[in-house]
């Protein structure tokens, strides 16, 4: 076996063993993502979160305002095999505060170029709601 054949075989093996993640895996990971608490009402935080998704490179898959869940994906492209994102928005107290948790999973575990949607989405929310 020559060197290039060996490299190809090892690359394929790494991809197969690296595992794949689905959108369902992101949903199941609720409670393990990065979260923030904002001193803003649920409706305002929900609306802003949807706007961030719609202005990003993510595709909005579903939104359930009553259940507080937003699902989005980014398909494979030249830099990534794709990402699966679950966002959980919840009311804190008497709707004067809201919590946003973002769980972002790479479609392929070996995908080192995947966007970190947790920091992207929460960074946008932080910028919007910081000291306002």
| Distance in angstroms (rounded) separating the CA atoms of residues 76 and 123 | 23
**Alpha-carbon torsion 37, 38, 39, 40, what sign?**
negative
User: What are the boundaries of each domain within the chain?
Assistant: 20-129
Coil vs helix vs strand at 79: coil
List per-residue pLDDT tens for the chain, 132 residues long.
565 654 444 444 444 434 456 656 666 768 888 999 999 999 999 999 999 999 998 999 999 999 999 999 886 554 555 688 999 999 987 768 999 999 987 654 545 555 688 999 999 999 999 754
Local structure of 29: helix, strand or coil:
coil
Answer yes or no: pTM beyond 0.85: no
User: Domain 20-129 belongs to what topology?
Assistant: TATA-Binding Protein (3.30.310)
Helices (H), 19-129: 23-28, 42-55, 117-129
């Amino acid at each position: 076996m020559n060197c290039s054949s060996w490299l190809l075989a090892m690359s394929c093996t790494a991809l197969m063993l690296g595992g794949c993640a689905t959108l369902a895996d992101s949903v199941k990971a609720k409670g393990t993502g990065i979260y923030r608490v904002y001193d803003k009402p649920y409706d305002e935080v929900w609306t802003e979160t949807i706007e961030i998704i719609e202005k990003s490179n993510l595709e909005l898959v579903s939104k359930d305002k009553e259940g507080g869940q937003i699902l989005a994906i980014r398909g494979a492209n030249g830099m990534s095999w794709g990402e699966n994102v679950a966002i959980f928005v919840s009311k804190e107290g008497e709707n004067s505060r809201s919590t946003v948790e973002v769980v972002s999973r790479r479609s392929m575990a070996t995908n080192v170029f995947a966007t970190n949607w947790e920091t992207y989405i929460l960074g946008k929310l932080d910028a919007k709601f910081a000291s306002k």
